[in-house]
Chain A
Amino acid sequence: MGRENHSPQARIRVEKLVKSFDGQPVLAGVDLEIYQGETFCIIGRSGTGKSVLLKHLVGLLTPDRGTVWVDGEDIFRVPYGRLRQIRRKFGVLFQGAALFDSLTAEENVAFPLRMLGDRRLGEAEIQKRVRRCLAEVGLEDMGHKYPAELSGGMRKRVGLARAIALEPEFILYDEPTSGLDPETAQTINELIRKLARELGVTSIVVTHDMHSVLEIADRAGLLYEGRMHWVGTIEEMRRSQDPILLRFVKASEYQL
């Protein structure tokens, strides 16, 4: 499988990923490696393809060229049944939360447990886990509400509770704090850090918010014109003189 060619620690390896929509190039050869236990932030202007890149990591979009390796398996070459197994290592928080609108918040969080959890998981155990996950995101009282009755920020937090219900090894966050008030955003940032620290989760966070990046990231990468223009640790970012990175950071009105 070519595993030996790769850096032994890289758990996700994106290789020369190319994707265009209707002849319009979005990703033009993205290379990226994600290591066990780290929190990696993907930054970049709106419309540069951050969400598109994130969807390739779990095979929701198929690349025109290039590929993605997860723990040494090429996710676009394995059979569909195996891809489903690999996907269970992931929890994903979508940009619009993607809650099932016919189910309450509680039922949304319980859904993966019921459908894919251990068959012996009893109803009492499921309820306990659901309450725990909702409590993590500070929504223990909102369980009976339908998504339409929740604010945008609340929906996002329910989406996060659902993403962590099956205790994934990787969590992908698509703009977890956008549209939240600073205090709730802070809670989410702390939660991301806590999941990484206590459960050893490997996290990939797409965000505009430079404050979040400095708060949670071990490393970050700037997606620019279809490529990872700059990748480095937060320390390196503070010292970087890269003009495009500086321009992005300045535009976020945030002093490093």
Chain B
Amino acid sequence: MLAPTALEVLAHIGRYSLLIGRAFRSVGEWRTYWSAFFLQAVRIGLDSLPIVILAAAFSGAVTTVQTAYQLVSGLVPRSVIGSIVTESVILELAPVISALVLAGRVGARIAAELGTMRVTEQIDALEVMGLNAVSFLVLPRVLAGLLMFPVLITAAAVVGIAGGLLAGIVSGELPPAEFLLGARSFFKPFDVVFMLIKAFTFGFLVTSISCYQGYYASGGAEGVGRATTQAAVVSCITVLLADYLLANLLL
């Protein structure tokens, strides 16, 4: 795949913004999409909970082991490891790793679903009935993302910290009491707020970008495949960019 030119990227951003604008235009017609919203929320939540939890647990555990390895000098109290792990998990690992995993799972599924509806004229059928097909399809998915990403990422943070704690016990490097002491002494409530801001942002980006890719799919089964890959790739890149921007803006 060739890298897109700057002009193409701009064209995509323009068309994407128009699509999202049109989706929110019929936000008042909740009757047409609220049941789809619940379905999507359950799917995003249940589909992805195991893999998100797994990724979080391991990243927390690895951070403990690695931090202990890096802080070999006896000058720093071992409880510092607990604070570093907790902060890393809340600020960066839980939101970003979960979002990347979700870009692959949720993003690809959304793009495949909408792309199939596009190439089999199901989207045309919705439009022709007099429905705002964009709202009908995009709104429930984006709203479900806004709701479920924070839930999943909060769960990931809890499990990630637990993973770190457990790794300390297993390796014998760090007793739980010291881990928790470190975790508590440097904890700032703003960290959690920052994590939730990231979660909302990533939830919006992954679901809306995947809807965009699926909605404008063309060219049969091959086109759906292309849209699915694009959804995962573009979501990942955007999540990483947004992660960097948010850190710059808010930290």
Complex Cα spacing A98 to B121, Å: 5
Task: Let me know if A90 and B128 touch, CB within 8 A.
Answer: yes
Contacting B at CB under 8 A, from A118-148, are none
B247 at interface (Cβ–Cβ under 8 A)? no
Task: Let me know if B130 and A55 touch, CB within 8 A.
Answer: no
Complex Cα spacing A235 to B32, Å: 47
The residues of B that contact A112 with a CB separation of less than 8 Å are 129
Task: Let me know if B129 and A100 touch, CB within 8 A.
Answer: no
Chain B 145-169 interface 0/1 with A at a Cβ cutoff of 8 Å (1 = within): 0000000000000000000000000
Task: Let me know if B130 and A116 touch, CB within 8 A.
Answer: yes
Task: Let me know if B130 and A96 touch, CB within 8 A.
Answer: no
A160 at interface (Cβ–Cβ under 8 A)? no
Which of A80, A87, A99 sits near B128, CB closer than 8 Å?
A87
The residues of A that contact B17 with a CB separation of less than 8 Å are none
Complex Cα spacing A85 to B128, Å: 10
B66 at interface (Cβ–Cβ under 8 A)? no
Complex Cα spacing A1 to B128, Å: 24
The residues of B that contact A96 with a CB separation of less than 8 Å are 120-121
Contacting B at CB under 8 A, from A80-122, are 80, 84-85, 87-88, 90, 92, 94-96, 98-101, 111-112, 115-116
Complex Cα spacing A84 to B129, Å: 8
> Counting chain A CB atoms within 10 Å of each CB, which of B32, B122, B129, B131 scores highest?
B129
A217 at interface (Cβ–Cβ under 8 A)? no
Complex Cα spacing A13 to B203, Å: 46
Chain B 122-133 interface 0/1 with A at a Cβ cutoff of 8 Å (1 = within): 101101111110
Task: Let me know if A92 and B130 touch, CB within 8 A.
Answer: no
Which of A85, A100, A115 sits near B122, CB closer than 8 Å?
A100
Task: Let me know if B124 and A87 touch, CB within 8 A.
Answer: no
Complex Cα spacing A87 to B25, Å: 18
A17 at interface (Cβ–Cβ under 8 A)? no
The residues of B that contact A92 with a CB separation of less than 8 Å are 124-125, 128
Q: Which residue of A lies closest to B33 (CB)?
A: A115
Complex Cα spacing A166 to B31, Å: 18
Task: Let me know if B125 and A115 touch, CB within 8 A.
Answer: no
Task: Let me know if B132 and A84 touch, CB within 8 A.
Answer: yes
Q: Which residue of B lies closest to A58 (CB)?
A: B128
Contacting A at CB under 8 A, from B101-142, are 116-117, 120-122, 124-125, 127-132
Residues of A within 8 A of B (CB): 55, 58, 60, 80, 84-85, 87-88, 90, 92, 94-96, 98-101, 111-112, 115-116, 166
Ordered by A's residue number, 8 sampled pairs between the chains whose C-beta atoms are within 8 Å are: A80-B22, A80-B25, A87-B129, A88-B129, A88-B130, A96-B120, A98-B125, A115-B32
5 new A-B contacts at CB < 8 Å, known A92-B124, A100-B122: A58-B127, A60-B124, A101-B116, A115-B31, A116-B129
Residues of B within 8 A of A (CB): 22, 25, 31-32, 116-117, 120-122, 124-125, 127-132
